[in-house]
Amino acid sequence: MNRIRTNASLAAACLGALGLAIGQTPSVVRAQFGTVTTAKFNSIPNYELAPEYKDRTKHPLPASIDLTTAKWMPPYKTWSIQGWSCANATGTTYVYGYEAQRVLGIASSGSTPNYPYEYTYHFLNSANQAEGGDGWMFMEAFDILKETGAPTSTDFGGFEFGNGSAAWMSGYDKYYKAMKIRVSEYYKIDASVAANDELIKQILVDHGDGSTEGGLLTFQMSSEDMPVTTVNGRRTLTSLSGEGHALSIAGYDDAHNGGSYLCVNNWGDGVYWAPYKLFRAGGKLANKFGTPVMFCRVRKNYTPQLTFKINMTHDSRNKIALLVGVAPSATATAPTKWKDFGGAFNYAGGAAPMMGKGASGTIEIGLDLTDFAPLLTGKDARFFFHVVSKGGSGKIDNVTLMDYTGVGTGGNGAVKEIPGTEAGKAIAANATTTVSIPWSGSVTTLAHAAGPLPAAHINGRTLDMLGRALPGGPAAASAYAHAVKVRAP
């Protein structure tokens, strides 16, 4: 249980392999303390070491690394989580926040992290700020970050904005800015296997892609089993077990206490050293999945090309799910492919109005449609916005299709705003309400819009997550256009 704290072309070929679901049914999002299914766990790619790293003469691992001093490292001594939000803190504020700052070239400064864990936590905690999370929830946080990215603390309204109300962010421009730093993928490593220490260390050293610095990882454990002793002046854990809490890994030292990982807590109490042996099979921390350690990658130089700007009102956000779809014809009456946004806007946020408990029922959001780019095979298309309702009352105030395809590509440089014609449309209870907008434009412009594919999906992992060649590996210059995650109706 978490301790409660109160302190302040290639892409098109990939479509068939992505797993198409039948019917416009929103994804099932694991609830607090819900079982992590084998299907869900297996859907998370295993990180594999690139072949180049097998030659440790050319690519030796240092004996130790400490990323708590890296310029991208979020502050970790000056704040503490609110409620049971630990896994969102490790996933969103630490692991994702570090990656986002790295690709944007923004060093940490001051006492407040740049990326708020409350952004994902408020979608996932059922409006129970005090006790709404669990130790596995960095997976659901990563799922949201894959679809929406995360706002900065400033854009969100403050690092801990809406603590008492489980508030959601309003403002299209804020969502659009967040979309530019979406997670490309997240990966798992089984630390119960001693040989996999090499993989974890490689991420910490250079992201496993030849970068000049490494990245953070996260894992879940129990906050009720964290006994420590002091070894050579370092606070060192003597036991790890169970579930319910989450820590980040920010370094390692092969010489400390038989070899240990440097773990960062989210209670404002600094760091702990965790011996490798505590992660092993047969120990108290390992479970039926081994000892999963996870990390994420974010997109670089990504600019959303087609989006929805949505103004809507509803009195019970946990009764509705928001989906988008596309058909490759402006005259279509239903989408041929569609998607949701992970745990965001998916019967989420508890029994509260759209903006949170005691707050407004009206919100303005932005949703990225650029993943549909490979499906735009003609000169026009129609985009769909669906509200799937289980009850409550509300309306779709207005929907605007935002077209950025002419910006900076030799067009007139202006963003095209294409308004829907069904303003103020009532959301039917226990039914699906749809607004659709036709579009015409250049699919050539969109062909390379979404950036490089993750290394796991191209050229035998010889490219990194940012599209660069790995040490000694060939570059696949044509490997652009992001693999689209869509579902068939």
Identify the helix (H) or strand (E) that includes residue 367: strand 362-368
* Residue 446: per-residue pLDDT: 55
Contact 402, 308 (CB under 8 A): yes
SS3 430: coil
* Residue 408: per-residue pLDDT: 67
Q: Tokens standing for 194? A: 């001693």
Q: What is the mean pLDDT of residues 263-284?
A: 97
Q: What is the mean pLDDT of residues 68-75?
A: 97
Residue 131 CA to residue 152 CA, distance in Å, equals 24
CA-CA-CA-CA torsion sign (78, 83, 87, 93): negative
Concatenate the DSSP letters of all residues of 44-85 into one string: SPBP---GGGG-TTTSPPPSEEEGGGSTTPPP-SS----SS-
* Residue 443: per-residue pLDDT: 61
CA torsion 323-324-330-331 (nearest 10°) is -10
pTM over 0.75: yes
Count the neighbouring beta carbons within 10 Å of the beta carbon of residue 123.
Answer: 26
Is the pLDDT reported for residue 23 higher than 60?
no
Of 267-271, 355-359, 394-398, 408-412, give the lowest mean pLDDT range: 408-412
Is the pLDDT reported for residue 10 higher than 50?
no
Contact 362, 313 (CB under 8 A): yes
* Residue 479: per-residue pLDDT: 29
Nearest to 422 by CA among 400, 398, 402: 398
Contact 357, 316 (CB under 8 A): no
Q: What is the mean pLDDT of residues 349-362?
A: 97
Is the pLDDT reported for residue 9 higher than 50?
no
State the Rg of the chain over Cα: 22
CA torsion 140-145-148-153 (nearest 10°) is 110
Q: Which residues contact 17 (CB under 8 A, 6 or more apart)?
A: none
In tens, the pLDDT along 199-225 reads 999 999 999 999 999 999 999 999 999
Q: Which residues contact 35 (CB under 8 A, 6 or more apart)?
A: none
Helix axes of 172-179 and 138-148: crossing angle, nearest 10 degrees = 100
Is the pLDDT reported for residue 250 higher than 90?
yes
Confidence class for position 445, pLDDT limits 50, 70, 90: low
Residue 228 CA to residue 422 CA, distance in Å, equals 61
* Residue 33: per-residue pLDDT: 87
Q: Identify the bridge partners of residue 341 per DSSP, sorted by sequence position.
A: none
* Residue 78: per-residue pLDDT: 95
Domain-wise residue ranges, the chain: 32-298, 306-446
Q: Output 410 or 262, whichever has higher pLDDT.
A: 262
Q: What is the mean pLDDT of residues 124-147?
A: 94
Confidence class for position 484, pLDDT limits 50, 70, 90: very low
Residue 254 CA to residue 259 CA, distance in Å, equals 4
In tens, the pLDDT along 378-399 reads 899 999 999 999 999 999 999 9
* Residue 473: per-residue pLDDT: 34
Contact 347, 29 (CB under 8 A): yes
Is the pLDDT reported for residue 249 higher than 60?
yes
Q: What is the mean pLDDT of residues 127-137?
A: 92
Count the neighbouring beta carbons within 10 Å of the beta carbon of residue 23.
Answer: 8
SS3 253: strand
Mean residue pLDDT across the chain: 86
Confidence class for position 24, pLDDT limits 50, 70, 90: low
Q: What is the mean pLDDT of residues 172-181?
A: 98
* Residue 409: per-residue pLDDT: 52
Q: What is the mean pLDDT of residues 482-486?
A: 31
Per CATH, the number for 32-298 is: 3.90.70.10
Q: Output 442 or 136, whichever has higher pLDDT.
A: 136
* Residue 258: per-residue pLDDT: 97
* Residue 28: per-residue pLDDT: 87
In tens, the pLDDT along 451-472 reads 433 333 222 333 333 333 333 3
